[in-house]
Amino acid sequence: LIVTSRRQIEQLKMLIGSEASIDLRKAKGSALQSSYIVVTNDAVTHKRLGDILEFHDEEGFTLTRLNRAGIEMVPHDDIFLQLGDTVKVVGTQEGIQAVTEVMGNSLKKLEVPDLAPIFIGIVLGIILGSIPFHIPHIPMAVKIGMAGGPLIIALLLSRFGGMFYLTNYTTNSANLMIRELGIGLFLASVGLSSGGNLSTAFADGTGWTWVGMGAVITILPLLVTGILAMKYFRKTFFETCGLLAGASTDPPALAFASKLAGSDIPAITYATVYPLTMILRIVGAQLLILFFL
């Protein structure tokens, strides 16, 4: 609800979005309330938000915010709800009660993890990653591997899982624990695999050459991409940090940027570019080997 002069309404529409059709002055009752409701009803997770609420317009309410995994967005009719989403409802007591009955709002149900979809996704990802793809004029088949297969299946389940009644909700604390554990294991494996030959490489003098070449290959593309993103594409600093972390498939950089930003802004751009980068790296590396060896 915004109070402003009439001549500034059109500017606000361009900045924020279209004007809501609900008339707060004509809503049932005189006292409007706001409430946060958690989506725990499986029946609404495979339907458009507009289809869910079209029979309750007369109740006198509007949904103003949708929070998903810590990311806040403005709900619209074409969005699909997911288990664990939190919606902010403004309206009469009767309207809020109607939304509560539709959405569920049973926090106890979210305490039980859905393990079956997770393991189904892992199995399907392994199967997809092991399928050879034959490309014309290339003597050997190309596979997206153990990293690309589960990644693609996870993206598909996240987007279309609700249509098949597959929910993969886990609490935010569990997600953070798995994320931090994965980053720690990743760094530990890198250190264990490279630390054995580190002293030998520096002893014979070739180590510094590889360090210099690696620094140039790593820093130069990041600087060029960062400057272009901020200067010509008008991206913010934290959006650019997430973009660079995703483009370099660097989870530790994402963790540092998220901690520095204090929000999930870097994670949004990271999640946008990371899947494409990972798939291109997996396929591109195999193509380079086939073409030049």
At 203, is the pLDDT very low, low, confident or very high (cuts 50, 70, 90)? confident
Per-residue pLDDT, 162: 66
pLDDT band (50, 70, 90) for residue 84 = confident
* Mean pLDDT along residues 152-175: 76
Contacts of 65 (CB under 8 A, 6+ apart): 72, 73, 74, 75, 87, 88
Q: Calculate the average pLDDT of the chain.
A: 80
Percentage of the chain exceeding pLDDT 70: 89
Q: What is the mean pLDDT of residues 256-272?
A: 83
Q: What is the mean pLDDT of residues 78-100?
A: 85
Does 47 score more than 80 pLDDT? no
Which class is domain 7-110?
A: alpha beta
Instruction: Assess whether pLDDT exceeds 80 at residue 235.
Output: yes
pLDDT of residue 230: 92
Q: Measured between alpha carbons, how far is 274 from 280 in angstroms, rounded to an integer? A: 10
Q: 169-177 long-range contacts, Cβ below 8 Å, gap at least 24?
A: 169/82, 169/83, 169/84, 169/110, 169/113, 169/114, 170/113, 170/114, 171/84, 171/110, 171/111, 171/113, 172/69, 172/70, 174/113, 175/69
Q: What pLDDT band is residue 226 in, cutting at 50, 70 and 90?
A: very high
**Domain extents in the chain:** 7-110, 115-292
Do 66 and 73 touch, CB atoms closer than 8 A? yes
Comparing 58 with 124, which gets the higher pLDDT? 124
Q: Tell me, what's the pLDDT at 229?
A: 93
59 pLDDT more than 80 = no
Which of 16-25, 41-50, 231-240, 271-280 has the highest average model confidence (pLDDT)?
A: 231-240
Task: Give the separation between CA 154 and CA 161, rounded to whole angstroms.
Answer: 9
Q: What is the pLDDT of residues 8-35, one digit of tens each?
A: 777 777 777 777 776 655 555 556 788 9
Report pLDDT for 207: 79
pTM: 0.61
39-43, 173-177, 224-228: segment of lowest average pLDDT: 173-177
Q: Highest mean pLDDT: which of 32-41, 44-53, 184-193?
A: 32-41
Q: How many residues does the chain have?
A: 293
Question: Based on C-alpha coordinates, what's the Rg of the chain?
Answer: 24
| CB under 8 A, 24+ apart: contacts of 219-225 | 222/248
Kindly report, residue by residue over 99-150, the tens digit of the pLDDT.
888 888 888 877 777 778 878 888 999 999 899 888 777 677 778 777 778 8
